Amino acid sequence: MASLQGSSVSGTLSATTFSGNGAGVTNLTSSNLNGNTLTNAQLNANAITNTKLNFAGAVLQTQVIRYDARPSYSGPTNGTTGGTRIQELRLNITPLYSNSLIVCEWWIHGEANNHDSGWFVSTNGGNLSSGLGGSYPQWNTNVGQNSHSYLLGDTFYDQDTGSTPTCSLLTYYDVPGNTSPRFYEPVYGSNDGGTRTFWINSTVGSRGQNNHENGCSFGRITEIRQ
């Protein structure tokens, strides 16, 4: 096998294997790679890892959770310090970078027994009055921090609680500030002085009969490089 050494090589170099200490090719620009240069079959499992995707906008990791059971959750009257965490839809992540953008999304199928209730997102088990540990306020900053100023607001203004539930879309963004494991949970709570109840994946009066629809709920968490 021929051996080539030197700090600079000009002309054309044809080879199928580079070996030795520090073997590799650097400073290849995208304009030098045509459509047939590299195929995915030529990239082994260790060739490119997500930590090497070091450009803004790269999706570093994502995962999805699904929940089909149909329990009910009580929403207490003091939403700023309480609320019921839907732990079955908890999203866990260990960020690769401290300044990544974490995107949390939930599609929660179900119905509440009263429209004076809503959602917020708990970060690492925090509550609304403590700021929840996330990067962005979970309330309308013009109104202030209180139980009727949720970031995600009210979604239940249908007075027919017997059939045809709704689907609440919850979205929250966070910049973790570190690479420690963290989790996010949707929290259901009352927006007034009365305790409210939410039935997930069903209507208030559903027992599986016709016209009382049932569904399934999803959550997704994604880390995006900034």
Write the pLDDT tens digit of every residue in 32-59. Answer: 666 666 666 666 666 677 777 778 999 9
161/24 Cα distance (integer angstroms) = 65
Give the start-to-end residue ranges of the domains of the chain: 59-224
- In 3-124, DSSP assigns E strands to 59-67, 72-75, 84-85, 91-93, 101-112, 117-123
Fold of 59-224: Jelly Rolls (2.60.120)
Least confident of 56-60, 108-112, 127-131: 127-131
Output the pLDDT for position 193. 75
Highest mean pLDDT among 23-27, 44-48, 81-85 belongs to: 81-85
Output the pLDDT for position 194. 84
On the 0-12 / 13-18 / 19+ scale of CB atoms within 10 A, 12 is: exposed
The fraction of the chain above a pLDDT of 70, given in percent, is: 71
Question: Using alpha carbons only, what angle is made at residue 20 by residues 16 and 24, rounded to the nearest 5 degrees?
Answer: 55
57/55 Cα distance (integer angstroms) = 6
Question: Using alpha carbons only, what angle is made at residue 104 by residues 85 and 57, rounded to the nearest 5 degrees?
Answer: 165
pLDDT reading at 18 higher than 70: no
Amino acid letter, 204: V
pTM over 0.85: no
Neighbours of 183 (CB within 10 A): 15
63/41 Cα distance (integer angstroms) = 25
- The 3-state DSSP class for residue 67 equals strand
Output the pLDDT for position 72. 93
What residue has token string 């309330």? 139
